[in-house]
Amino acid sequence: MTESLPDPDRLPKAPHPRVAGEIVGHDRQEQAFLAALRSGRLHHAWLLGGPEGIGKASFAYRVARFMLAEGDPLQRAAGATSLATRDSDGGVRKVLAQSHPDLHLLRRVLKSDGKGHTSNIPVDLVRRIIDRFGASAGEGGWRVCIVDSSEDLDRSAANALLKLLEEPPARVLFLIVAHAPGRILPTIRSRCRLLGFEPLREPQVVRAAELALERAGREADPSALERAAALAEGSVRRALTYVDPATLALVEAVRARLDALPSVDLSALLALGEEVAGKAGEAGFAILIETVQNWLGEHLRAHAGAGAARLAPLAEVWERFGRAAREVDVYNLDRRPLVMSLFHDLSEAVARSRAA
């Protein structure tokens, strides 16, 4: 049975992936899983790999609902054109209510003091799953284990999971969400079938975000949603974050300063620094960091063939900025000087890159 906890894997003000009905942009992955199910040789572990926020967890729960719905999923797959299920189905209702005895979750958990969630998936939780798999399935059918995400597994938890993957119980399906599959233990990766997911196109991001907002009972200005999608790099999660008016304004302001480099507008940077300063600016500072890192990543990917001499200055700033941002957070330092020094360093790096 799943743990009765606040959801650590849910974006605030957005529906949890388990309730996602329509999945946008991942038809290929759906048909690949259905084909494997129809073949009668369904691999016991699937690594759902791709950038964060594009629908991998929603896909995992869609698979779980199909596998745990009433009746034999292999028989249902024979005539199915998709993994869609009815919310009125008894098994699906239990998945949606987090009460299905054969759905197991490996995710971060609530801290013992009740303040926030752990930074990793505890190894004890993996061991409890192992113990549960030693018994029969609660409803006599399939059991599904969703790992969300592999990045949250520390070494001990990863090794414990590996034991399960090496000797899997019968009729157990593992769905492992991975934002960076290449960083997973090779021994785990080798025991999984990789199903890759790609960033969505802008119209798909808009559609997926619209569906999520509808499920959450929220409305968004269509223009704001399109602007958010344009900045989201194919991530629905990011678009749902950016659609907030204050967040969208901040992201667009940061992008405007980045796109103007090596030119620097000191008054605009001072305003940015004030916006992310102090206790009230914590969330904005996180958005600023993410926006800068995304911009740097885009720039490095776009100029990947330009040679090391052109890429090195920006790569150096990326690494230096990451360290400085962590120090500001750990030591509770004033963020305003970091904003000024960051854009100064970026200005010099862009100029050096263009001159190389």
The CATH number of residue 158's host domain is 3.40.50.300
Whether 203 maps to a domain, the answer reads no
More confident call, 89 vs 141: 89
Using one digit for the tens of pLDDT, what is the confidence trace for 28-46? Answer: 999 999 999 999 999 999 9
- pLDDT the model gives residue 6: 54
Whether 259 maps to a domain, the answer reads yes
260 and 182 in a single domain? The answer is: no
Residue 195 to residue 35: CA distance in whole angstroms: 13
Q: Is the pLDDT of residue 5 over 70?
A: no
Token reading at 344: 């100064």
Mean pLDDT of 313-332: 87
- What is the pTM for the complete model shown? 0.91
Token reading at 300: 């490095």
User: Angle between the 335-355 and 266-275 helix axes, to the nearest 10 degrees?
Assistant: 140
Q: What is the DSSP string of 300-355?
A: HHHTGGG-HHHHHHHHHHHHHHHHHHHHHHHHT--HHHHHHHHHHHHHHHHHHHHH
The confidence band for 322, taking pLDDT boundaries of 50, 70 and 90, is confident
Residue 304 to residue 213: CA distance in whole angstroms: 36
55 and 154 in a single domain? The answer is: yes
User: Angle between the 335-355 and 308-331 helix axes, to the nearest 10 degrees?
Assistant: 180
Residue-level length of the chain: 356
Strand partners, 193: 46
More confident call, 219 vs 253: 253
86 and 192 in a single domain? The answer is: yes
Q: What are phi and psi of 177, to 5 degrees?
A: -80, 125
Using one digit for the tens of pLDDT, what is the confidence trace for 150-177? Answer: 999 999 999 999 999 999 999 999 999 9
Residue 90 to residue 69: CA distance in whole angstroms: 7
Using one digit for the tens of pLDDT, what is the confidence trace for 249-283? Answer: 999 999 999 999 999 999 999 999 999 999 999 99
Whether 342 maps to a domain, the answer reads yes
Q: One-letter amino acid identity for 112? A: S
- pLDDT the model gives residue 1: 40
How many structural domains is the chain composed of?
Answer: 2
Q: How many CA atoms lie within 13 A of 340 on its CB side?
A: 11
**In terms of residue numbers, what domain contains 255?**
244-355
280 and 185 in a single domain? The answer is: no
- pLDDT the model gives residue 228: 97
187 and 276 in a single domain? The answer is: no
270 and 192 in a single domain? The answer is: no
175 and 290 in a single domain? The answer is: no
Long-range pairs, 322-328, Cβ under 8 A, ≥24: 322/293, 325/289, 328/285
Token reading at 146: 């969703």
